[in-house]
Structure formats: C-alpha cells, structure tokens
Amino acid sequence: MCSIIKLLNWDSSVSPIFLWRKPKNKILKISMNRFKLICSAFLILVSLSIHGQEEDKDALFIKSIYDYTLTEGDCYQWLYDMTTQIGGRLAGSMGADRSVEFTKDILDTLGVDKVWLQECEVPHWVRGEPEMVKIVNGKELKAVALGGSIGTGKEGLTAEVIEVLELDELEKLGESKIKGKIVFFNRPMDPTQIRTFNAYGGAVDQRVWGAARAVKFGAVGVLVRSMSLRQDNVPHTGSMVYDEGGEKIPGLAISTNDANHLSNELKKGNVEVYMRNTSMNLPSKTSHSVIAEIKGSEFPEEIILVGGHLDSWDIGAGAHDDGAGCVHSMQVIQTLIDLNYKPKRTLRCVLFMNEENGLKGGLAYADSSNTKNEFHIAAIESDAGGFTPRGFSCDAENEVFAHYFRQILEWQNLLEPYGLYFTKGGSGADISPLKSQKGILIGFRPDSQRYFDYHHTSIDNIQAVNKRELELGAAAITSLVYLIDKNGLTSEEN
C-alpha cells in the first residue's frame, strides 16, 4: 500500500477514497488520467486487502490442521495396530487380507459418505523356509530371497561365484566365464547422491533384471547386494522380474556387510557358495484396494485423491513402506471431518493393493476411473516413509503442468513456515496411471536419508517410526488437500 501511495504522491494521512479536498477554499481539480489511475489503485488495494484476508484465513485453518493432527490424530495408533497385530502384508497373503478388513473398519467409523472395496487380481508368491547362503568352508551370509524368485529346491545348489558391477558386464564376460556359476551383482548405491531415491534408482536394475540377464549366459543363481546406503547385517528383499517364457534361476539378496565380505574373499581367489531357498509362485488371487469418499458440495465431479499402498513385503511389518502412507491418507479424512470442513470437491482416500510386486491395485483403480469418465484434479501419494516432511514433487502431462504448478507455487508462503517446498518431479507408482486424465500428480516427500535403512527389511517396524514425524507428514498432506479443494486448479490460463 505504501508503494502505491508514493507512486500517486498521496498524503498518506488522507484516505484514498476522497477524490477532492479544499485547501484554502479552492477545489482540487483532478485530470481524467489521474482519476483513472487513482480508481485503478483503489481497486488494487481492495483486491490486495481481500486477498490478504483470505490468506489469513488459510493460514489459520492450516494452523488448526497441525494443532489437531499433533494432539488428536490417530494415525500413529492405527499404524501401531496394523504393524503389531497384522505385520507383513504381501499381496495374496492372509496379512494383506486382514489389512483390507482393518482399514475398511476404521474408515467406516470416520463419517465419510461411502466406503467400498475394489477388486484386483494379484500375484501370489510365497517365501517358503528360511533362506541360507554360505561360503563353502567359510562364513554364513545374511540373505533373503527376492520377491518372485523360484526356489533352488530342497537340496540347494553349490557353485563358484563371479562378481560383476554392471548388467552389461555379463555380455563382455560371455557364457564361457558365466555358465554354471552364481553371478554376484555388487554395485552399491551411489553415496554422493543427496537424493537417496536417485541412488536407489541407479542401482536397483541389478536386483530387478539381474537373474533374467544372467541366465542367458548359463548362470545357475544370482546374489545381489542389498539396496541400502547403510553398512549393516540386514538383507533387503524386493521384486525381481523374469523374461516371459524364459528360463528361471533363483535370486537372493545379501546384506551390505556380507556383500563386502564376499567381495574381499573373491579378491583372494576362487570362492564357492552354497545357496538354498524354497520360494515359489502360486496361482494369482483376488484381493482388494480400500476406498473411502466424501462427496464434494460444489464440484463433485472434481476428485482429489490421497493414498498409499496397503501391501508390504513379508519379512517385516511395512511400517514406513507403506503403512505410513496409508495412515497419512486416513488421517487427512479424519482431520478434515473433525474440523467440520465441508469439501467443495470430492475427496477420496485410496489404499492401493499390490504396489510392491505388480501394481494391480493402481491399474484397476485407473481402469475403473477412466471407464466412468472421472476426472482427478489432483492425486497425492505418500510412499516415501513416515519421516520429517520436506515437501511435495509434482508431475502432469506437459500441456497442463506449467499452469498447475504455477498455481501451486502461490501457496508456498503458506506452507513455508512448516518447512515445506514444491518441486518438479515424480509422484507415486499407484497414481501414475491417472496421468492421462490431465490432472496434477503429487508425491509427498519426507526426508529420505534413513528410508533405505529400513526399505524392504525385517526392521521396517513400528520402532522405526517417530510419532511426531509421522503426524507432521499427515498434517502437511492435509494442508495441501485443503488448499487444492478450497481454491481449485485450472489447467489453462483464465
């Protein structure tokens, strides 16, 4: 306001609504141009005042979201119960079925308009008996089978080990050096990557495709260094993929400490390893995603989705991956209902099944939504753990992204006091099939430095989750849902 007054050479003690005054009994004459300028400035001031009042209202409501979540929210208790009473929830397992019932029962009590289950056909892989990997005449290594792996058979197998760092090395070595051996993929995650998901993305190909590539050169089995930046004795599981119709060999992961030990032993000379697992793939099963909805009061055809994935790997309790994302999403609904907020747009909490080894829940949801010609103006996924929130990354089709992102950046000043940022980037695996609807896809981004300490392990349990950090994440997501719902988003210039 002061800058506009200076521009017009106003006396700041005089109200701008007075267009005339009588100094020394003479009427002040105002030119037409100056009159137009004053009117324009006045309208700007009124607009800024109204805008400022709206920002104040938004700031106060966001504060109420944080206050409620940090003092009254139930997300930590839900996560505690899910991880301690159910535990691992691999798609197709009894644990996964129980998690569907557990979360549906909670959502039914929150006061939403509708709760339903959505079918999806999921793979059914079972780990079998405890795995064993042992250096012949040497140390036993901490190991777990990779998801989808076949078994070695009851007797196990013994073979010489050959170490590689890159998938392309297999072709250079050729069948003459690989046939009949166990290929040991030992490329570590890059510690120089500050964004640990980038480090993970730069190393995970060997886990996913290593066995399928190695078998083409006659390998009999695969060992993979665990996907973690931490040096410890905890092996990490995760999906592996075979070529359709191709030959299959077993794949197991070993801990980072044991990967280092095996590599050092190989530097001394030839090493033989015994490996055994009894994993198997069974016929697919019918499972479900869980969906809760509050119908919008003004724009019900515009859907704002918030979600995570119910399934987890079987060896742990899936607290960070992705129990945290599920209870974050449920907390959004509870908080807004208990604060008596009436959404303008339809809000959906979607707890997807089978993100870990198939994405069948996300694909089934998108297929159903597209068949109904639905429009998700925004979809937010929490699948990066329950750590301290840092912000959100945004994605959309190229022709609409710039418009959406510019509008979202206008809320930066409201979320900055809570340490939150917006950036361009990925969103989430489960919501990615919705991209063709041309809404905006958003990934919740907590601090990631410790995420891969627990990812896909036996230690991803409730003890790994800090209650306050989990609640702060839920409050951050709720605040963004509120801002999108209250203000809306447009995909093109007004």
pLDDT digits (tens, 9 = 90+) for 92-137: 999 999 999 999 999 999 999 999 999 999 999 999 999 999 999 9
User: Tell me, what's the pLDDT at 16?
Assistant: 34
Q: Report the alpha-carbon angle 179-181-183, nearest 5.
A: 110
State the pairing for strand pair 389-395/421-424. parallel
The letter for the amino acid at 275 is: M
Torsion angles phi and psi, residue 220, rounded to 5: -105, -10
User: Tell me, what's the pLDDT at 296?
Assistant: 98
Number of C-alpha atoms within 13 angstroms, CB side, residue 468? 0
User: Tell me, what's the pLDDT at 175?
Assistant: 98
Residue 196 near residue 384, CB atoms below 8 Å = no
Q: DSSP for 442-481, please give it.
A: EEEEE--TTHHHHTTSTT-SGGG--HHHHHHHHHHHHHHH
What are the Cα distances from residue 475, in Å, to 38, 124, 332, 365, 439? Answer: 43, 35, 7, 26, 23
Q: pLDDT tens track of the chain, all 494 residues? A: 333 323 323 333 333 332 333 344 444 444 555 455 445 544 444 444 555 677 799 999 999 999 999 999 999 999 999 999 999 999 999 999 999 999 999 999 999 999 999 999 999 999 999 999 999 999 999 999 999 999 999 999 999 999 999 999 999 999 999 999 999 999 999 999 999 999 999 999 999 999 999 999 999 999 999 999 999 999 999 999 999 999 999 999 999 999 999 999 999 999 999 999 999 999 999 999 999 999 999 999 999 999 999 999 999 999 999 999 999 999 999 999 999 999 999 999 999 999 999 999 999 999 999 999 999 999 999 999 999 999 999 999 999 999 999 999 999 999 999 999 999 999 999 999 999 999 999 999 999 999 999 999 999 999 999 999 999 999 999 999 999 999 999 987 65
How many angstroms separate the CA atoms of 457 and 463, rounded? 13
For the chain, state the CA radius of gyration.
28
State the pairing for strand pair 251-254/421-424. unpaired
Residue 113 near residue 294, CB atoms below 8 Å = yes
User: Tell me, what's the pLDDT at 37?
Assistant: 45
For the chain, list the domains and their CATH numbers.
2-52 (no CATH), 73-123+284-487 (3.40.630.10), 128-278 (3.50.30.30)
Residue 293 near residue 103, CB atoms below 8 Å = no
User: Tell me, what's the pLDDT at 396?
Assistant: 98
Please tell me whether the overall predicted TM-score, pTM, comes out greater than 0.85 for this model. yes
Q: Is 300 helix (H, G, I), strand (E, B) or coil?
A: strand
Residue 374 near residue 303, CB atoms below 8 Å = yes
User: Tell me, what's the pLDDT at 23?
Assistant: 42
Q: Report the alpha-carbon angle 453-90-132, nearest 5.
A: 65
Torsion angles phi and psi, residue 407, rounded to 5: -70, -40
Beta strands, E only, 257-313:
272-276, 280-294, 299-309
